[in-house]
Amino acid sequence: MAKKLVIVESPTKAKTISRFLNGDFKIESSYGHIRDLPKSKMGIDIENNFEPTYIIPTKSRKRVNELKKEAMDADEIILATDEDREGEAIAWHLTYALDIPAEKTKRIVFHEITKSAIEKALENPRKIDKKLVDSQQARRILDRLVGYELSPFLWKKVFKGLSAGRVQSVTVRLIVDREREIKKFTPQEYWSIVATLSEPTSNVGFEAGLIKRDGKIIDKFDIKTKKDADAIIKDLDNAKYKVTNIEKKEIKRSPKPPFTTSTLQQAAVNRFGMSAKQTMMIAQQLYENGFITYMRTDSLNLSNDSLKSAQKTINDMFGKKFSLTEPRRFKTKTKGAQEAHEAIRPSDSDKTPENLKRELDAKQFKIYDLIWRRFIACQMQEAIFDSTTIDIIGHRVSNGHSVSINYTFRANGSVMKFEGWLKVYPSSFKENVLPELKENELLKLIKLSPNQHFTEPPPRYSEASLIKALEEYGIGRPSTYAPTISTIQTRNYVEKNEQKKFVPTETGITVNDLLVEHFPQIVDLQFTAKIEEDLDMIAEGDIKWTPIIKEFYEPFHKNLENKYNEVEKQNNDEETDQICEKCGKPMVIKHGRFGKFMACTGFPDCKNTKTIKQEPKTIGMKCPKCLEGEVIEIRTRYKKLFFGCSRYPDCDYASWKNPMGEKSR
């Protein structure tokens, strides 16, 4: 019997596939990449059309030898790595590392690890798509050229241990630019006026906001000061309030599209506080176990089979009034989206989260539940609301006559009429029930409230909003969001504050400013997006990869050579009054990859360094255990925040939670 060898990237994926294939097949895993550029050198022959030199890393050599033996004994080798460019590149590298002849090799792809999907893929094998391989290879070479040439420049001009990257540097720039916007922001004062009104015989009030004066709309900043607000309040002294217009209409809210990589990451951050990296790790586990479709995608496509399955699930679980007669389809607006792919969805919509609860751990359940609900919701009827808008004008009685003051207030009400998709995917919505009023009906004023407001600066990026920005600017692709965000934190270019928002470190600001001044293209949003478009065109076969690399590299390298002579070493040392106890020379505060430290000015003859102890931050309460020390914020070596007693080690009080809400014990 013919032996067919199927090779995938992960053992979990191999185990799942083995459930669907009979004894003719042997399923093996490559355990990820088995060839790569060397770590010890550039590995790119710049003089020879940027030809890369690939090696088999030491950790992969044993596995490669095992796979070689299996391949020699097989009549047919089926490469079933992931469907994206990286997966295509892994398949291509396998053919070289294992010396697989072309006539024995088949390439198959599938969006989900199910019996039907695998059988369909086996019926439609193809050759390795060299265009996809070239696109992935070009990305890898570009990133290697930037990293290996620009990083040493940063070591020489700033300090050792720094790195630059084509996508990571632009991401840091977004965060630095946002921080500067916040710092230079000047709040602007403005006021609003709200009337709390009721029917004459009722004490149950509803709110209406002031929207017009003399029939002219009041803009946000028209009421600038308390004096302006008080003048309006005075105008309305002893006023009568009358309903002048009532509009009722039905409003429909459509569901959001199924998840793509970026929207899944954003939802997981917002709902569960999961990092993009953690979300993708969990999604990959769900994919490799056959529960969801491929999780690296920017497409909103849904297969016809999945749409039919969703309709049946909705009919069975919620009834026909919640399902659609025709499926709802979505078109992605993301730059360079791969429309041939599918959105992230459950492999089988009948497998509800509750059905799988015993098979999933807590975090896997959360992500699967989110994906399942989003997919089912996108094929359900719209949610319907009854919306009511009531306009009210004030009148002041003067000498027995009613005089129009020409101030118009508006109350908006909304009541859910039909849940629709909200039944399965709850969204933020608050009903506001207004009383049943009639036109020309007089109302009772309960109170008139002037409210002071100030404009706020743009918010710092969270993981969710940063991913959204990267996607909107066309920077990176689904596979790069999570590793990029992880890298800029590992490199200590940015850190998260207590609100889990990104703040640039001094190191991040220093490196960013140097790159912006001297290598503007590297950190230019439009240029970086253009590179991504070029990589997409390579994948489509519209252009070749070597001219793109050459067009980028030659001016980049020439500029870099010039900058070695032009740019002075950045000296950010801070003087101190401390003397080195080893050689007697002054100590200075230096900036390193992991923050500030103290060093001797006698370096390299004297290599004395010291850590800088920062003043502990108190939270404004006594230690609940000893009642003597102050509770202070403390960071672990991995920067995780906890709270402890300032008298440690005499008092060992510690808490992961802020004790301001805890009782003394």
Q: What is the DSSP string of 468-483?
A: HHHHHHT-S-TTTHHH
Q: Which two tokens stand for residue 283?
A: 């999604």
* CB contact set of 522 (below 8 Å; sequence gap of 6+): 146, 150, 164, 166, 169, 170, 515, 556
* CB contact set of 385 (below 8 Å; sequence gap of 6+): 250, 251, 252, 253, 414, 415, 416, 417
Prior bond to 604 cis, omega within 30? yes
C-alpha R_g of the chain: 32
Strands 609-611 and 654-655: unpaired
* CB contact set of 228 (below 8 Å; sequence gap of 6+): 191, 222
pLDDT at 1: 45
Q: Are 643 and 659 in contact (CB under 8 A)?
A: yes
Q: How many CB atoms lie within 10 A of CB 488?
A: 25
Residues of the chain with pLDDT under 50: 1, 337, 339, 662-665
Active site residues: 294
Report which residue type is found at 661.
G
User: pTM for this one?
Assistant: 0.83
Q: Are 531 and 480 in contact (CB under 8 A)?
A: no
User: Percentages helix, strand, coil for the chain, rounded to the nearest 5?
Assistant: 35, 25, 40
Q: Are 39 and 112 in contact (CB under 8 A)?
A: no
* CB contact set of 187 (below 8 Å; sequence gap of 6+): 454, 455, 456, 457
pLDDT at 133: 96
d(CA 66, CA 623): 60
d(CA 62, CA 48): 31
pLDDT at 595: 64
pLDDT at 663: 39
If phi > 0 it is left, if psi is from -120 to 50 it is alpha, else beta; for residue 49 that is left
d(CA 244, CA 95): 77
User: What is the distance of C-alpha 524 from the center of its chain?
Assistant: 20
d(CA 153, CA 566): 12
pLDDT at 231: 94
d(CA 504, CA 173): 9
Read off the DSSP letter of residue 344: B
Q: Around 366, how many Cα atoms within 13 Å sit in the side-chain half-sphere?
A: 16
Q: Are 421 and 255 in contact (CB under 8 A)?
A: yes
Strands 442-454 and 239-253: antiparallel
